[in-house]
Amino acid sequence: MKESWRWYGPFDNIALWEVAQTGASGIVTALHEVPYGEVWTREAIAARKAEIAAAGLDWVMVESLPVHERIKRGDGDLSGLFANYRQSMANLAAEGVTGICYNFMPLIDWTRTDLKAPAKSGGTCLRFDAARMAAFELHMLGRAEAEADYPAEVVVRAGQWHAASTEADRAALLSAIMSGLPGAFERYDIEGLREALTLYHGVGAEELRGNYKRFLEEVVPAAEDLGVRLCVHPDDPPRDILGLPRVVSDAEDIAWVLGVVESPANGLTLCSGSLGANPANDLPAIARRFADRIHFAHLRNVAKEPDGSFEEAPHLDGDTDMVDLVRALVEEEARRRSAGRADAEIVMRPDHGHELLADSERNNPPGYPLIGRLRGLAELRGVARALSAPYAMAV
C-alpha cells in the first residue's frame, strides 16, 4: 500500500520534514484556506504541490474537496457550484493530483464529545459518549425530538450530566463537537447551530440521496474524462446526528452510492473507524465486497459500547480485525497487479491516533498527533509487509 500522512498545510504544526521521518512517502492534504464552493486555482495547487515535493514527498490524495452545503440541501440554482467543483477537479488533474476524497455528511463532519479522553495504556484519545451527545441535543440545543434517538437509560444519564455540568463543561462539549470541522470556515455557537439546522428542514434521507445522486451525475463524468478518482468518506459516526440524515453508513448505503452512477471514478474511501462504529458492519467483508472501487483507506480502530458510545482504540486493537482488513486490501492490490491496473497500489494513511508522550505538548488538530499516528503507521506497515511476503500470499 502507498503509505501516506494527513497534513493540514499552513494550519499544521507538524512540519513536512517530520512527516518524511515517519517513513510515509505520500501526503494527503487540501487547500483548507479556500472557502467552500470556490475554485481551487491551478496556481495555488501547484504551489502546495511544490512545497510538498521540496520535502521529498508526493501529494497523493486530496482530503477533502468539500461539497458545499447548498448542494447537499439541493438549494436553489447550483450550476455555478457544480461548475466550480468540476473546475477544481480539472486544475488538480492538470497538476497531477488525481485522487479526491470528499464526504456527503450534512453540516457536521466527524463528531466526538471528548477530545482528550484517558486511554487505558496512557495518553488520550477521541471519544463519542452517547449520554453527553444526548445531553447536547436535548438540553443545550433544545431538540426535544432527539429523545427518540437514544435508549431510555442514555436519556436519563444525559439529564444527570447536564444537571451537574458547569458552564465550562458545556462550552467544552460544544467545542469538541465543532472540532469535527478542522478545515471548515464555519463554527457554530448554540444559536448559530439551531439556525443552520433550520436550513435542513424537509431534507430527510430520501431527499439527501436525491441531492447526492444529482451531485454524482454532475461531477463523475468529468472525473472520468480527467482520469480523476473520487472516493466518498463514510459517515462518522455512522448514524443520524442532530436530526440530520446520513446516507453512507453501512454496506447497503455504499452499494447505493457506487451503483447510482456506475463508474470506476465513483469510488470509496474505506474508513475502518467510521464504518467500524456501526455494530452491524463487518469491515473485512465490506472491503472484499467493494474492493475494486476502494481508492483510499483510512485505517484506525474503535472500541464500541452497548449504549452507542465508542472511543478510538490502538490501531491493532479495538473491535475490527485489522489484520484481516489489511489482508483484504493486500489481496486486492495483488489482483490489480495481475490485471495490469495502473492504480494497483491503494493509498493508505493511519487515521486518528492516541496522543502519546510529547504529543500533549503540541497543539495538534484533534485526532492527528505526531507520535500516536507514527505508532499506528509502524504497526500497519508491519502487518502489510508480513501479509505481502511471498509465503503469506501463497497461504
Alpha carbon distance 310, 125 (integer Å): 11
The CA distance from 68 to 106, in Å, is 10
Task: Give 84's Cβ-side CA count (13 Å radius).
Answer: 17
Q: Largest alpha-carbon pair distance within the chain?
A: 62
Q: Which of 162, 295, 352, 354 is catalytic?
A: 352
Q: Is there a catalytic annotation at residue 231? A: no
Q: Which residues of 165-184 are buried (b: 16+ CB within 10 A; e: fewer)?
A: beeeebebbbebbbbbbbbe
- Give per-residue burial for 86-107: e unless 16+ CB within 10 Å, then b: bbbbbbbbebebbbbbbbbbbb
Q: What residue has cell string 448559530?
A: 192
Q: How many residues does the chain have?
A: 395
Phi-psi region of 202 (alpha: psi -120 to 50; beta: other; left: phi over 0): left
Annotation says 201 is catalytic:
no
Q: Write the burial class of residue 10 (CB in 10 Å: 0-12 exposed, 13-18 middle, 19+ buried).
A: exposed
Cell numbers linked to 55: 520535502
Selecting among 295, 298, 315, 354, the annotated active-site residue is 298
Residue 368 designated active-site: yes
Does 271 qualify as catalytic in the annotation?
yes
- Classified as helix, coil or strand, 241 is strand
Q: Catalytic residue among 114, 282, 351, 359, which?
A: 351
CB half-sphere exposure, 149, CA atoms < 13 A: 20
Q: Which of 101, 125, 231, 271 is catalytic?
A: 271
From 162, 233, 315, 354, active-site residue:
233
Tell me the C-alpha distance between 231 and 234, whole Å: 10
- Catalytic residue set: 233, 271, 298, 351-352, 368
